[in-house]
Structures are given as C-alpha cells and as structure tokens.
C-alpha cells in the first residue's frame, strides 16, 4: 500500500536531476545580516547590496512547492508514519518518559496511546529499532528527498501498515479531524535532538513540538542552520525551545500554519 502511494511521488520527482542547474535564491532572514565592519570596501556580495549570503536550493523547493508537496497523500502518510516512529524512538526508549507519556495522554488519546503501546510491545523492539535506524546511512538529504534510505524505511513502515488500515492511521494520527497534541516531557525532546538523525528530528517552537525533517530542504535559508541548531552541544532540557531564534528572523511567519501537519504535541 505504501509503496503504491509513494510511486506517484517518485515518478514525478525531479530529484534525479537536482545536481544539474541548481537554482540560487537570496537567503531568507534565517541568518542575520553581516556586520558592516566585516565588509571591506572591495567586497561585492553576489546576493546584492544588502550583503546577504545565498544558499543552493534544489529545483522545485519553493514555498508553493512545499504546499503542493504536503498536499500529496503519499507525503501525508509518510509524515504520519515518521511521527509515530519518532515518538517510539524518542519517548518509548526510556521507561520514565514512556510512563509519563502514558499518564499524561491516555485519557485524552486512549486509542493512540494503546496503538503506540502495541507497536512498542508486539511489533518493534525499540532498542533494535533505534539501532536499525542509526545504521541507515545518514546523508544531508532526508528520506523525503527519495534517496536510497526511502527503501529501507519502507520496510519499517510495512510493519506498521500490516497492523492497521491506512484510513484508520489517518483518523488516529493525522491533524485533520482530531488534532493530535500529545504532552511530551522535555527529556524526551532532548533525547530526540541528541540522536543526531536527520530523518527523525523534532523542533520545539513556542512550546509546540513539530516533526521538522520534511521541511529541511524547503527552508529558504537552507537546512544546515536548522540542523546545526538542533545538534548544538548547548541544548539542555531548558534550551530545547527554538522559538526565540525563529522569531528573531521570521517575525512575519506563522509557524502554526506553516507546520500544522507536523504537530506532534507540546512540552
């Protein structure tokens, strides 16, 4: 079922040609402007008089492409499955975080919690799942860009899809009908950041937890600054929220609209 859904995306993807004619766009204000003192009289920034750096963007990775990409059923399914996997790895790998997750969410989301527990006990050995995912060669391009990791993750997806119908998984874990908003402790979020696996990353913005991986290559300022922020050695349980950094350079962006399909919960 999942392979059939993603085939459409694979057939239409221009990723195979991404190494040719890579477009350049002025960087968004994710990064601050260079200080005037750092610009010599002989410098002539290629991005224009404002001195902004530029980043290389893959073809078809603009704002409109992001909306179209997220509207595909195959993308929605993959995002939903990766949200589930990221919760299993980040929360259910630690008994304290798991027990707190169950306590905080079982009354509001009983079916979802029950299914996650079932997956953690009957379908996956969480420790083995972590090893399996970490053995996947992590590249700068995530599985949402259809590198070879896509096939490896499909084997993991198949184990979940063998236990539940596609419509049911959408009903349980998509944000269309009954928005999922799990309460997740900060230690589990920090655990996610410290795994340093580009395919399962979360990001906390204003207390809300989003599955951020699909957006990496669509970020106008480039993916590197986002990954660096998440992998920072300065991250602690008290420094997991990146809303201050986000709003410093994106005052006009509504993150709740931009990342609504990726909402996992709150801290």
Higher pLDDT, 160 or 2: 160
3-state secondary structure of 254: coil
Question: Among residues 123, 127, 132, 125, which one has the least CA distance to residue 158?
Answer: 123
DSSP state of 122: I
Mean pLDDT computed over every residue of the chain: 78
Q: Quick one: average pLDDT of 138-163?
A: 77
**CA 250 – CA 180 distance, rounded (Å):** 25
Whether 48 is in a domain gets the answer no
pLDDT confidence of residue 187: 96
Whether 37 is in a domain gets the answer no
Q: Give the helix ranges, DSSP H, for the chain.
A: 2-12, 63-70, 73-90, 95-105, 110-118, 126-135, 149-161, 166-173, 186-194, 224-230, 243-249, 255-258
Band (pLDDT 50/70/90 cuts) for residue 89 is: very high
Give pTM, 2 decimals: 0.78
Whether 44 is in a domain gets the answer no
CB atoms within 10 A of CB 90: 27
**CA 139 – CA 148 distance, rounded (Å):** 10
Higher pLDDT, 106 or 259: 106
Answer yes or no: are the C-beta atoms of 126 and 102 closer than 8 Å: no
Structural domain boundaries, residue 112: 2-16+62-266
Question: Among residues 137, 180, 128, 195, which one has the least CA distance to residue 156?
Answer: 128
Whether 54 is in a domain gets the answer no
pLDDT confidence of residue 223: 84
Whether 23 is in a domain gets the answer no
**CA 83 – CA 73 distance, rounded (Å):** 15
Cα angle at 130 between 75 and 225, to 5 degrees?
A: 60
pLDDT (tens digit per residue) in 221-253 = 778 888 899 999 999 999 999 988 887 766 667
pLDDT (tens digit per residue) in 93-118 = 999 999 999 999 999 999 999 999 99
How many alpha carbons fall within 13 Å on the CB side of residue 176? 13
Q: Is the dihedral of CA 26, 28, 32, 36 positive or negative?
A: positive
pLDDT confidence of residue 191: 94
Whether 219 is in a domain gets the answer yes
Q: How many domains does the chain have?
A: 1
Element (H, E) at 54: strand 54-57
Whether 30 is in a domain gets the answer no
Q: Is the dihedral of CA 138, 120, 144, 61 positive or negative?
A: negative
Residue 110, domain CATH: 3.10.120.10
Whether 53 is in a domain gets the answer no
Band (pLDDT 50/70/90 cuts) for residue 176 is: low
pLDDT (tens digit per residue) in 24-55 = 333 444 434 444 333 333 333 344 444 445 56
Q: Quick one: average pLDDT of 129-147?
A: 71
pLDDT confidence of residue 100: 97
């Amino acid at each position: 079922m999942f392979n059939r859904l993603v085939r459409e995306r694979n057939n239409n993807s221009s990723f195979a040609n991404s190494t040719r004619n890579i477009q350049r766009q002025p960087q968004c204000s994710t990064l601050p402007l260079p200080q005037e003192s750092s610009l010599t009289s002989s410098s002539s920034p290629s991005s224009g008089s404002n001195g902004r750096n530029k980043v290389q963007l893959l073809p078809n990775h603009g704002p409109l492409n992001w909306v179209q990409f997220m509207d595909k059923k195959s993308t929605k399914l993959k995002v939903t499955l990766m949200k589930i996997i990221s919760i299993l790895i980040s929360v259910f790998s630690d008994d304290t975080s798991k027990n707190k997750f169950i306590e905080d969410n079982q009354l509001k989301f009983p079916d979802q919690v029950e299914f996650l527990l079932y997956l953690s006990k009957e379908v996956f050995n969480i420790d083995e799942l972590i090893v399996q995912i970490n053995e996947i060669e992590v590249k700068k391009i995530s599985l949402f860009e259809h590198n070879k990791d896509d096939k490896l993750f499909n084997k993991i997806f198949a184990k979940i899809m063998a236990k539940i119908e596609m419509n049911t998984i959408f009903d349980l874990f998509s944000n269309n009908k009954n928005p999922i908003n799990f309460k997740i402790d900060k230690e589990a979020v920090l655990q996610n950041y410290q795994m340093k696996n580009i395919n399962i990353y979360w990001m906390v913005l204003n207390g809300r937890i989003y599955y951020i991986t699909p957006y990496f290559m669509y970020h106008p300022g480039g993916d590197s600054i986002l990954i660096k922020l998440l992998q920072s050695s300065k991250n602690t349980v008290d420094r997991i929220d990146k809303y201050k950094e986000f709003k410093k350079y994106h005052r006009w962006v509504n993150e709740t609209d931009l990342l609504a399909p990726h909402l996992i919960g709150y801290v």
